[in-house]
Structures are given as C-alpha cells and as structure tokens.
Chains A and B, each alone.
Chain A
C-alpha cells in the first residue's frame, strides 16, 4: 500500500532527469513525512476547501445568523444592526396553527409529494429508456440524443415554453386534450387551481428524467453481457433478467442517482418560479417558493432564513438516514 504514494514521486524525479526536475527531487524530501504520507490528500484538497468556505460555508453561516435576527425592510440595508430575536423566528415558522407555520407545513407536504412522484417517474422513464436503448438498432444514436435534449435546454426557455403550452385558452395542451381529442368537457386550467400540481410534475419529470436516463445508461454498459446470455440460456425471461441482474448491478448507480434527484427536486426553484411567477397556486406551492416569498416578497429575511435552516437540517437528516440505510443494505448483500 505504501507504494501508492512513492511511484508518482519517482516518476516526477525521473522526468526531472531530463531537465528541471533535479531541483524538484532535492526539494521533495523537505516535506515533513507526516505531510508526505498522511497529509498530502488534505493539502491537495485545500484549494477546494478554501473555495467551499468562501462560496458556501460563509454564506451559510451568515444565513444561520440571519435566522436569529429581526431582518425586515427596516434593516435590510444595514442588516448587521437588525435586532437579535433568539429563537423567535423559529417559533413563528413552526407554529402550525398560525398562518405562516400552516403555510410552511402545507408547502412541505406539497414538496414531499412532488418529490416522491417526480423522482419516481423520472427514474422509471430513465430506466425504461436506458433498457430499451441497450440493444443495437438503427437510429439508436439519434434517439439517445433526442432523449437528452430536455437536459441540454436552458431551464428558463424550456419552462416558459411549457407555461405557454399550459395556458387555458391558447395553449396546445388544451387544444389537444379538449379540441382534438375531446377528453374534457371544457378547457382546463393548468396554471391555477389544483391542476397546477399536475402541470408542475409534468414539467419537472420532463426536465429531470434525461439525467436518470444518462446515469442508468452508463451503469447498464458496465454489466457484462454474458450474465444475460447465461440467464437467457437458463430460461430467465426479460423481467427476471431485470430483477435478478439489472437492478442489483445498478444498485450503486441508483444509490447516487436517487439521492441527487431527491435533493434537486426537493429544492427545485426554477420550475415553479418560471411556471407560476412569484405567487404559486396553493396546490403547487413548493417549499423553495414559500421560502423565497417569505424572504424576498414579504421582506422578512429573518423568518425566511429560519425556514432555510430547518430545511437544511431536514435534508441533512434524510440524506444521513438514506446513506446509512443503503450502505447497510450493501454490506448485508455483500455478506450473503
């Protein structure tokens, strides 16, 4: 195992024999052994960690500090002077009998439902398409490119196009469903009222399933074909092959894929914001929009930050539970 560190040093040294590396070879021994053998990975990580601090950690800490202050329009120009409110903002947002807490709880419920459906459908479509495109056939490359189009399009342009399509009187959705197919008695509303949730899911799935497709397609290519051939000879049908070979083999890919899709979908802001503007219908009022409204529309950054922190804690908890559960499952299956 120790050789994993030394070969690159030797390589550099041997390169140096052709010119400048003599000096480099002389410098290297000056690094303390502790760093050379134990700290080198951390040294290499340092620039990234510093950037993370600057770009993520510092704003996050500021956000947490804000959540303890009364940060309204009276202080946003001078927010370090906003009065300290201790846990008052948190008490307000978790008071589920009051309008703000009630609205937060409602948006949390909507977001959970939205996430489960969107991630589920995205995974299902991605999986189906990836399996379909495993076989070599004429036009497979073209289909792959077409399937990836939603992933490549700019989000704003794509979602605003959906917003036009969902318009009640002039949109193509109602034109097809009502005028051409006659499936509805009268043109439906998609951007207001209860149907807005369906519209949101449709756009979100359309936007995120190509990512699932891409990941699963890459994962499928790592499964040896011989496994399928052997299974086929043994009389396994397509469903058995999927259940016994494909899904277990894709387990590591799925573990990451589902987690990433969950985090992206739960925090999705662009889709509802572009689709509905800054006042989303109740049925589609995702938590990201709700936090945005609390912060930027009603000008209460204190309660908005408190909600953000609670959301962060929730997502960390879910992620931790998920990682522990899936890694246990993996260990278990390995033991068998």
Chain B
C-alpha cells in the first residue's frame, strides 16, 4: 500500500505541476540565419482583409508568382491580429518561428529588443533595393531611433473619419466635422431613434491606444518622456483619455454597447447604418464586403481642435502600418531577403496596397494615381503631414496592454453609468504606469 501511495503522490504532484507551470522550453539562437533550406519559406501574414480566407485568396497568387520567379515555395499562414503577438512571442521563446512574418509597426521596438529579428542594416537594405526607396516616416516606425530597423515597412496606414453620407443628409448636416466640438454637436443631432453618431471598439486594447495617443498629442502630451520613462498620468494624457470616454459618458454620442466591442463590430454597425461615423484605418474593403457601396460613405481627416490638421498639436493619427520582418534564425536567409524584396517591389506594392486600401510605404509606388482616390488621399495627406509614430520604446507592447486595459475599464464604467471623472481616469492611468515600472 505504501508503494502505491508513493506512486500516487508522484503522479499527482507531477500532474499538478504540469497544470500550473506553463513556462518552459526555449532554445537559444545566436547569430542565426543560414541557407540550409533554400527552397522553402514559411510566411506568417497578418490578417489585412475582411477575413482570413480573403487574405489567402489575395496572397496565394502572389506567392505563386514569387515561386515561379525564384523557385522558392512559400508556405502561407494568415494569423489573426488577436493571436499574432502571442504567436510571435512563443516563436521567439522557442526559436521555432516562421522565416518571414508581418508585424504591427507599433511592436517594432519591442520585438527589436528581443533580438529575434534580422536587423535591417545597410547591407540588408541594399539587398532589397536600398533604404531610400521607403518613405522616412514609415522606416522611423520600424524600430528604435539610432538602431538598424527590425523590419521593413510593407503597408502604411493612418486614421481617417469615415462618415455615412445619407445619415448626415437626413440630419441636415452639410459635411464631416473638422473639429471635436463640431463632431460632438453633429453627434447629438445624429444620435436618435436607436442610431448613434460614432462607433468605438472599447474592448480592443490597440485601438484604444491609437485613439488616445492622437488625442494626447493634441493635448501636448506624450506617454513616454525623452528618456523612455512612462508619463501616463501627465495632464494632457488624462485629458485625452477623458475626452475619448466622454463621447459615451457625457456627450452620449457613442452607444454603450460599444464598450464591449473588440471584433470590429463598430464597422458592421457603420455598414448597416446603425452608426454615422467611425474612426478607422483603411476600412474600404471591409465596408465593401459588408455590402456598402463606395458612394455611401465619405472619408475626412480625423478632427483636431482647430480644424486644420498639421504638426505638433494638430496631430490627428498615429503612423499606422504593417512591417515585414525576418526571423534571425531562418534556415533560408537569402530566400527571405528575396521574398522581402519581392513584397516591397514597386509592382507588388501597388497591387497589394490597392487591394487592401492602404498606402505603399515605397515612394515610387505611392506616386501611382490609384492612391489619389479621395479616401486614400486623406490617408496619404495624414501620413505626410499630421501623423506621429507611437513611442518606439522596448516597452511599447506593455504600454498598449496596460493603458489599453485602463481605457477598456473606463469604457465599462461609462457604459454601466459609473461616473468617469478626471480623478478616476488618473487613478486608472496611475495603476497602469505602476504596472509598467515593476
């Protein structure tokens, strides 16, 4: 009996241990990057289109084209945004990742700090046609200043205000608002009969960050100081977060239900005529996939306090975009560089960015007339004149989680009728800041 009990204790202990210790594994990768497997590549593409299947449909013919040109077969996996960072992190820890992958440009500095990505020094940039081919602001959002970028810009994006022309006409409003005061005034006219003025994605941490970052810039604040220390509770940041939440809590122009949105439901609401405006990056293909015709909606710059977007306090968007990166321990570093070169070639840049409704970060492709359509012109002008990159600090990813969660919790307060005050906003941001500093 004692033996059986001993065996049972061993089994129970190990089973118990397995349930709670999730950390483990991992191989160290030093300089990495070989050509042991020159005929294949694996590619993790981020979900850019309306859904994963659409992305596969768009990318597969291009990958075949690349295979025909180089003889290298590319195995494609489209990864949803909600999973991408975790997948990259797991791949970094284990050393078992794809050869080439897309990353959100805001994660560049964080992922650069892990040392898992191939640095794009002059030699690597030469292999894809040179750094000068790319727009400066796009390269600036590919890693920390003063270091070789961790990735290469692939699709550039900025925020615009999308509005429903018919709903505006029905409310007797001439055109899109240029200032926040106008947006609130128009919003009150539009929010009636079960319809609402503005959509939000309260449960989407990244989206929360993008919105409060631009508003923070307008209040003259930054979420990190020059030395890289968090300054979340700066007056400008508190005011920015409160202003954003007040659209629901005080101005009542956002539906309370938006507090739990995290799966692009605000775009569906817009496409179905339930909300009149939405702040989004390149939403055209999603609207089209939900049955909206291009003439049904318009795009305008995101409002600013003065009505005229520009530098400094008139910043109205973060520099959004997708970068393409190479895992340092790839077994086909030459092939990976060739693939990046192919994806960032003028022809592919025009084709892919046209399809996704984004702006090419490659200057020559950006000049194509296809990117002069009214909505894309808004995005282009915003990127050129009034967009700022999110802080390129190693802790950027944690910042998105900590502050994004604080904003999410404030949305929940606003939706449930709990008062949102300057103090309550400051308290949440203070907690987020303390979490960052531990």
- Interface positions of A (Cβ within 8 A of B): 41-42, 45, 49, 52, 55-60, 62-64, 66, 73-74, 76-81, 92, 98-100, 103, 167-169, 187, 189, 191-193, 263, 267, 277-279, 281-282, 291-293, 295-301, 303-305, 308-309, 311-312, 315-316, 319
Contacts and interface: CB of A to CB of B under 8 A. Distances in A.
Given A189-B415, A191-B260, A316-B13, A296 B86 contact: yes
Contacts of B438: 92, 98-100, 300, 303
A87 B9 CA distance: 28
B14 A56 contact: yes
A279 B408 contact: yes
B7 interface: yes
Given A292-B22, A293-B401, A308-B20, 17 more contacts: A52-B10, A60-B18, A62-B24, A66-B23, A74-B113, A76-B26, A78-B29, A98-B434, A99-B434, A189-B259, A192-B259, A192-B408, A192-B415, A281-B412, A299-B397, A299-B398, A305-B21
A312 B20 CA distance: 6
Given A73-B114, A99-B434, A298-B435, A312 B21 contact: yes
B431 A99 contact: yes
B19 interface: yes
Contacts of B405: 279
B111 to A, nearest CB: 8
B16 interface: yes
Contact of B28 (A63, A77, A301): A77
Contacts of A42: 3
A312 B17 contact: yes
A59 B25 contact: yes
Contacts of A79: 26, 28, 93
Closest 10 CB pairs of A and B: A59-B24, A63-B21, A192-B412, A169-B257, A56-B18, A60-B17, A99-B434, A56-B14, A63-B23, A77-B116
A99 B305 CA distance: 35
Nearest to B91: A77
Interface of B: 3, 7, 10-26, 28-30, 82, 86, 89-90, 92-93, 95, 110-111, 113-116, 202-203, 205, 255-257, 259-260, 262, 394, 397-398, 401-402, 404-405, 408-409, 411-412, 415-416, 431, 434-435, 438
A274 B394 CA distance: 28
Nearest to B413: A193
B128 to A, nearest CB: 24
A45 B7 contact: yes
A77 B92 contact: yes
Contact of B21 (A59, A168, A263, A292): A59
16 contacts: A56-B15, A58-B24, A63-B24, A74-B394, A76-B92, A77-B29, A77-B115, A78-B30, A79-B28, A81-B28, A99-B438, A103-B435, A192-B415, A263-B19, A299-B397, A309-B21
B114 to A, nearest CB: 5
B325 to A, nearest CB: 13
A77 B114 contact: yes
Name the residue in A64, A99, A189, A311 with the highest tally of chain B Cβ atoms < 10 Å from its Cβ: A99
Contacts of A77: 28-29, 92-93, 95, 114-116
B16 A263 contact: yes
Contacts of A59: 18, 21, 23-25
A192 B14 CA distance: 36
Q: Could you tell me the dominant secondary structure of chain B's interface residues?
A: helix
Contacts of A295: 22-23
B210 to A, nearest CB: 16
Contacts of A57: 14, 17
B202 to A, nearest CB: 8
Contacts of B115: 74, 77-78
Given A63-B23, A92-B438, A193 B15 contact: no
B113 A189 contact: no
B401 A298 contact: yes
A80 B23 contact: no
B399 to A, nearest CB: 10
Contacts of B402: 298
Contacts of B89: 76, 296, 299
A311 B18 CA distance: 12
B14 A52 contact: yes
B412 A193 contact: yes
A309 B17 CA distance: 9
B22 A193 contact: no
Contacts of A312: 16-17, 20-21
Given A189-B260, A189-B416, A63 B398 contact: no
Contacts of B19: 263, 267, 315
Nearest to A74: B113
A189 B7 CA distance: 48
A42 B10 CA distance: 12
A189 B28 contact: no
B262 A277 contact: yes
A296 B11 CA distance: 28
Nearest to B116: A77
B326 to A, nearest CB: 14
Name the residue in B24, B93, B262, B416 with the highest tally of chain A Cβ atoms < 10 Å from its Cβ: B24
Nearest to A191: B260
Contacts of B401: 279, 293, 297-298
B329 to A, nearest CB: 9
Contacts of B409: 281-282
